[in-house]
Amino acid sequence: MKTALSIAGSDSCGGAGIQADVKTMTMNGVYAMSAVTALTAQNTTGVRAVLETPPEFLREQLDAVFEDIFPDAVKIGMLPSAELVRTIAERLRYYQAKNIVVDPVMAATSGSALMGSGTAEVLANELFPIAALVTPNIPEAAVLSGVTIREEGDMLCAAKRIGDAFGCAVLLKGGHSSGAADDLLYADGGFRWFRGERIENPNTHGTGCTLSSAVASNLAKGFTLDEAVQRAKSYLSCALAAMLDLGKGAGPIEHAFALNGCFADKK
Ligand SMILES: Nc1ncnc2c1ncn2[C@@H]1O[C@H](COP(=O)(O)OP(=O)(O)OP(=O)(O)O)[C@@H](O)[C@H]1O
Ligand SMILES: Cc1ncc(COP(=O)(O)O)c(N)n1
């Protein structure tokens, strides 16, 4: 069985972070492992508290995983501090980790900040160059590229700037645009759009985490980057279209939609 590692924060309400990643990897047919960067006390309405993992303990988690079950892909999510970024970059280089997907999480859907100030620059410099793919949303891409993003042309410009500056492929996600949910891939000097109809569902907590860990899962299984992105987008769209409705704020999506009719059938 192929394996994947999520290096991310824990989301106590289960819709984003480590919890979303483990569910997504499992549903995409790979064995999921985790290294926790922070604990969050969070629900669908907001983040109440964050407890950062000490860098030396994150390092212990990474060593424990890599020395035993070497992951076929690595997904990186919430990184609250520059010190944790440096710890991860050093360990991933040391182990020559492959198929690294970096989701540069800056804030939760609820608006709360999940990254300390100054960390974005270190993240880009240390982790983007070793990534197979970086997956910013529109506000994150604007910060990373300095481009104000209002239309498709701006997305092309921002993705190219990030990809050329850090030597990585970029998937600029269009979930925060006003029109369709179209994502743009910039890789090997070329562009490709992954078009998606906007699904009228206000419950989008964890969509970014889900997409990036689905890409990582499909890279672990040996699909090309284009195939992995297409398959991840299809999985995400189905999970969103299943219209799960939990919580008082922007709720989580239905990661296990495909299990209906199996052990998960309703009484
Ligand atoms: N309403 C929607 N209908 C269809 N696809 C969507 C919708 N909202 C987001 N997506 C898709 O979800 C994925 C994540 O995109 P988004 O831009 O929302 O990322 P994000 O901001 O990192 O996620 P999050 O909203 O969880 O923080 C993309 O593939 C995007 O196109
Ligand atoms: C631990 C953790 N990691 C990432 C996110 C971002 O996910 P979203 O933007 O979908 O809320 C989150 N809310 N919590």
- pLDDT for 260 equals 78
Instruction: Kindly provide the residue ranges of all beta strands, DSSP E only, lying in the chain, ordered along the sequence.
Output: 3-11, 31-43, 46-52, 73-76, 100-102, 133-134, 170-172, 183-187, 190-194
Ligand 1 pocket check for 88: Cβ under 6 Å: no
206 CB within 6 A, ligand 2: yes
Q: Tell me the CATH number at 242.
A: 3.40.1190.20
Could you tell me the residue range of the domain that residue 198 belongs to?
Answer: 3-259
pLDDT digits (tens, 9 = 90+) for 145-187: 999 999 999 999 999 999 999 999 999 999 999 889 999 999 9
135 CA distance to ligand 2 centroid (A)?
14
Structure-token pair, residue 158: 């921002």
Phi, then psi, of 54 in degrees rounded to 5: -60, 140
* 224 noted as active-site residue: no
- Kindly state if the Cβ of 9 falls inside 6 Å of ligand 2: yes
In the residue annotation, 207 being an active-site residue is answered as yes
ipTM attached to this prediction: 0.96
Residue 150 domain-assigned? yes
Structure tokens at 105: 């999480």
Domain tally for the chain?
1
In a domain, 56, yes or no: yes
Q: Distance from the CA of 233 to the center of ligand 2, in angstroms?
A: 18
How do residues 209-267 score in pLDDT, each as one tens digit? Answer: 999 999 999 999 999 999 999 999 999 999 999 999 999 999 999 999 999 777 777 77
Any domain includes 265: no
